[in-house]
Structure formats: C-alpha cells, structure tokens
Structure 1
Amino acid sequence: MIEGLTWRPLTRDDAQTSADLLNAMETADKIGENYTAEDTLTELVDPYVDLERGSLAVFDGDLMVGYMKIQYRPTASEVHGVSLDGGVHPSYRRQGIGTRLVRAGIASARVLHALHHPTLKLAINVHKAEHISGLPELLGAEGFAPVRYFQRMEHSLQSVGTSDGLPIEPWSEAADEEFRLVRNEAYRGNWGSTPMPVELWKNKITNQTFRPAMSFLLRGAGGAAVGVLVTMNWEADTEATGVRDAHFMVIGTLPEHRRQGVASALLGHALRAAVDQGYDRASLSVDSANSTGAFGIFERAGFGASTRYVRWALEG
C-alpha cells in the first residue's frame, strides 16, 4: 500500500476531482464514459447514496486516486440489491488500493442494508465492462461471481426509415409522471429492477443529460400511455470523442401491450428524430437474458453489439 495517502468519505464538494479521476480511468479502460463535474455531482447527490456511511475516497495530496460508493434501494422484495461502484486511477493500480476499497464497500453495504432492509437477503452488485484489466481477479478474490451479462448495442444511423404516423408525442412536463409510471410497470418483471420513486427519477433521468426532444411516449387506442423511450446524451462524451450519441436509457412497454409493435414504433421514431436532430449514433443497453424479446427487437431495428458488461454479485 502506498504511504501518505488520505482516506475519507466523499462529499458534494468532490464533483470536479471525481470527474478528473473518472476521466483518467477512461484513458486506460476505454469504455466510452466521460464526465463533467455536473455529471459527478448528480451521482453525489443521489437520494439513495449515503456518503458518510457508504463512500470512501483516496487522495494523494489534492488528487483523488480512488473511490468507492454504495447505492442502496428504496424498495426491495426478498433480496436487497445494493450497488457498489468505484475505481482506481491507472497510475495507482495493483498496489492494494482497489482491494481496500472493495472491502470497505462490502462493509458499508452491510451497514446500509441493516439500516434500510434488515429482514431481507443482501446481494452486493458490481456492474462493469467485461474487458477492464484486473477486475475479475480483484472481485473474485473477495468472493464476487459473475451472475449476469449486459450488452451495449449501437446504431450508426446510416439507414433509418420514416415515421409511421402512430400517436407518439415528445416528453412534456405534464406527461412526466406518465413516463415514470410506464417505466416502473414495464420494468417490474425485469431481473434486478425496482420501481423508481419521484426523487430518484429526477436524479437519474430528468437531469442535465436528459434530452426531452428525443424522449417519446406512445398512447394506445384509449389515449392511455402504453410505451416510453427516454434519451440521454453526455456532453463530455461528445467533447472527448467528437461523436454525438443518443443513448436510449429507458425503453419500456406495458406488459399487456407487448408484441403489438410498441417498442419497434418508438425505436423507429426515435432513430428518425436522432437523424433529424444531428446525432451521429444511437445506443442502448440490454440484459442478455432478457425474457421479453428485447434483444431481437433491437437487432431488427438495426442495432449491433459492442461492449459487454458483467454484473458481479456477492451474497450477504
């Protein structure tokens, strides 16, 4: 372990130095994630992140060289899935920092679990790109095992059809709650998913990366919302890569309206809008074991596989 390092919980004042660390990690890991201070502040003020009990940052002077952060779930059934995120600056890896951070994360997850869902089982989850060097060894040594795979898919926007005229409307303040409720109901049966309360929706979805003009709702014959698509774009990614990516963060159809072309219609409409609004690419992420047929829908829409992610888990 390197001597002279400072270890303390994260604070909301760490937004810029957190962004600097994550951008340094991107130079080595190349997963396509770049950050501004505003982006990292959004994560630091997450209503289900307890920085005092559930975070740890490592500093070499004023430079943040590593961190870990826990997000607990507002609601859970049978199993409380706690998310453990973190990383180490490329110049400080393989010196024991990552191991100490993972162990601190496990301990913090157990503390927060006991505070919020003590009667349930605990699963500590880490979600990272598969190709990150040294990660399997680090997590495996602490008892984590891969339990699920997620695929990032991309669309070049080179071949996009025209809109089919279905009753699709862009996001509006008045329809925001419909978006959230459809998302929650559509994702109810998804592996590892839990409903998003209003405060989490505002933090994770309608934040500075949200693109209202690229987010759509489809109504059924009676006028009720039956499907939604929500788009995000990270300005830091565009600046770093020169590629303006429309990331379809949420794509959901109410269960009783599946297999009626709702998702395909929303995708086609959003892809056309992405072209019209000057995006260079569209992307999304899908659970490789999704039981709703989503993978096939995305392939038929013209998306192709790129980066694969692994969900690592430790019980208890």
Structure 2
Amino acid sequence: MAFDLASLTRRPIAAPDAAALAGLLNAIEVVDVFGEYYSEEDAADQINAPLLDLDRGTVGVFDGDLMVGYSSAAHKPVAEGVHRVVVSGGVHPDHRRRGLGAELLAAGIRSAKVLHAIHHPGLPLAVDVHNNALNDGALACYRAAGMTPFRRYSHLRHPLGAAIVAAPTPEGFVFESHSADNDPEFYAVGNESFLDRRGGVPTPLEQWRGLLGWQAFRPGLSFLLRDADSGAAVGMLLTFSWDADTEATGVRDAHFLRVGTRRAYRRRGVAGALISHALRRAQDEGFDRASIEVDADSLTGADGLYERAGFTVARTEVGYSLDA
C-alpha cells in the first residue's frame, strides 16, 4: 500500500483510541506472532494503566481513522541503581518498510528521556525493548538505533491433562483463592519475591490495583499458599485469561502472570505446589492449556522449575537495551 509519511497524523494516544489500538495490535499479531489478541476492553486496560503518562509517553500514528503505528514509554515509579524505561511499539503490516518503525522507536527513546528527567534524573537511564526473536525487521531497527541484546524471554506452554506433574503440598500449608480479604497478602508476597529478580523493585499499590482491575484477571485461579500454624502467607500465583485470545484461537489459556515465594520459605516446594495446584484447577475449569513467560537467563533458575512441571518453550523473545 502506497502512502505518504507526511500525510499521517501523529498525536498522543487517548482513552477513546482503545478500539483503534486493538485493531492495530491484532493486525500486528497476524505477522509478528506474539500469541496475543486484544479486545477493545483489553486495549483500554493498557491505555488506562494508572502510571502511564499518555501525553508525554505515547504516540499514535493515524491514517485517517486507522491507527497504523504507535509508541509507548513506561517509566518505573520506583527505581534503584538504573532507571529502566520500557518502550513498546509497532507498525501495521501494510505501512511497513517506509521508515515509520524507526521514527516510532526514536519517539519512544525521546519519551523515555523526558520521563526519566521527571522521575529519576539522578540515576542512569536504560531504554529497554523486546520483540519476537524471529522478527528480523524489528531487531534490525533496534540495532540501527544503537541498542544491544541483553536478555532473552521464554514463553512456555503446558497442555494440562496427563502432562500435569503432581507436586506435594508442603505439610501444614493450605491454599486460598484470591479475595478482597487476602489481597494485601498477595501484594506483600509478590513484592518481596520480586526483589530478587534483575531490576526487581516493589510494585506501587496503584499499579497493583490497576493490574488486578484488568478484565482478564481470574481471582478464582489465583492462589495464596499459607502456613496454617503461623498464619504466614508464603507464596502466591496470579492467573489471567484473555477472552480475545480464546475467540481468535479457540484455545482457553490460563496465563500465570506472576508466581512468587517469600525468601524464608524457598526450597521447600512452595512454587512447585502452587503451579501444580493451579494447573489442576485450570484443568477442572475447562481450560485447554496454561502458559507463563520467564526470563530465560534468570538467576533463580525459574525456567527449570517450569520445565520440570511439564511446560515447554513455545517461542522466544529477545530484549534490547540502550544506555541513554
């Protein structure tokens, strides 16, 4: 499709753009294959994220009413050592190979610098992106911008059924589904467990509330493991499932977005018990598979934990970074 870059409209993304953004992301999925489909509600969840600065951090590119490209920079409200701003973006397949991708990446990097100057000016800035490892065009764009690869991510899938590996629940521990009453404990366990990950910092409560407000959150498949004797919450698992994915693929996927164990209870089978319990419950509730994304170079060996539970690698994404 022939088009003139100068004729396209560029402006910050706004709440009324949810349907247009969903259309763009679904068109990108056909070619780039992230395994992610979006409804208008899902796109609205992304746009309305509590800490996303739409005016300073986003750019939407429009050909008439059609959104044909976007860039989004998400700053970290809490940062230690280095402020890592994650830039996301994409171009409609019909509008590629005209320089729009490079333009949007440059816009994302500029947005990252603006947000960094506001929120963490005293720290070094790193601008991070990630993409399907098979997307040669995007990776070439990153390299042309001076970015270098720094991390790999594995998207793992589990077929449920006979592939579920039974893992014993540690003696004296009990499971609880997510509720308003135990939500503060989910939050506390999640924050403590993620501090040991690369760049791990506490999740602000506002951000946590926004995440659990997504249409895709499944509280009945999200579990807390509690030490019955002490009453301490020792581990947690959050599950999400996107109806748009099911509609597009015919597959109901239970995605384990976060799994964590408190430091004092590690190496006692907590994570394995949570995963096994969640897999069995997903099976009982008619899901077709489960999935999770992990840092393939994790210092905690998380990929090995999931492989032992019966997960296999479905695709790999690669992260690129720029010291800015």
In which range does the TM-score fall when normalised by the shorter chain?
over 0.9
- 1:258-273 residue pairs with structure 2 within 5 A? 258-273=266-281
Asked whether the equivalents of residues 127 and 312 of structure 1 are also in contact (C-alpha less than 8 Å), the reply is: yes
Q: Secondary structure in 2 aligned to 1:173? A: coil
User: Greater shift after overlay, 221-230 or 163-172?
Assistant: 163-172
Partners of 1:133 and 1:292 in 2: how far apart? 30
Aligned-residue offset at 1:34: 0.3
> 1:211 — aligned with what?
218
**1:192 matched residue in structure 2:** 199
Q: Deviations over 1:85-129 (max 9, x none)?
A: 110000001101111111111111101100010000001111222
Q: Please list the CA deviations of residues 30-54 of structure 1 after superposition, one character each: whole Å capped at 9, or x if unmatched.
A: 2211001111111111122111111
Root-mean-square deviation over aligned CA pairs: 1.3
Q: Which runs of 5+ in 2 are unaligned?
A: none
Q: CA deviation at 1:206?
A: 3.8
Contact 1:163/1:272 (<8 A) preserved: no
Q: TM-score, normalised by structure 1?
A: 0.97
Partner of 1:174, secondary structure, is coil
2:143: which partner in 1? 140
| Mapping 1:295-306, distance limit 5 Å | 295-306=303-314
Q: Deviation of residue 3 (structure 1)?
A: 3.6
The equivalent residue for 2:87 is: 84
CA apart distance, 1:306 = 1.2
CA distance in 2, matches of 1:104, 1:256: 44
Q: 2:187 aligned with 1:180, yes or no?
A: yes
Q: Which residue in 1 is equivalent to 2:70? A: 67
Query: Which of residues 196, 201, 208 in structure 2 aligns to 1:201?
Result: 208
Q: Is the 8 A contact 1:161 1:272 kept in 2?
A: no
Structure 1 residues 149-298: aligned runs within 5 Å: 149-159=152-162, 160=164, 164=168, 166-220=173-227, 221-298=229-306
Poorly superposed stretches of 4+, deviation over 6 Å: none
SS in 2 for 1:124: strand
Q: Is the 8 A contact 1:33 1:237 kept in 2?
A: yes
Q: Say how many residue pairs are matched.
A: 316
Question: Which of 130, 134, 137 is 1:131 aligned to?
Answer: 134
1:31 and 2:34 matched = yes
Instruction: Indicate the residue corresponding to 1:56 in structure 2.
Output: 59
Q: Once the two structures are superposed, what CA deviation does each residue of 1:291-313 show, in whole Å capped at 9, x if it has no partner?
A: 22222211111111111111111
AA at the equivalent of 1:70: A
What residue number does 2:44 align with? 41
Q: Normalising by structure 2, what TM-score?
A: 0.95
- Structure 1: runs of 5+ lacking an equivalent: none
Deviation of the 1:192 alpha carbon = 2.6
Secondary structure in 1 matching 2:161: coil
SS at match of 1:252: strand
Q: In structure 2, what is the Cα distance between the partners aligned to 1:59 and 1:237?
A: 25
* SS across alignment from 1:167: strand
Question: How far is the alpha carbon of 1:194 from its aligned partner?
Answer: 2.2
Question: How far apart are residue 198 of structure 1 and its match?
Answer: 1.4
- CA distance, structure 2, for counterparts of residue 40 and residue 119 of structure 1: 33
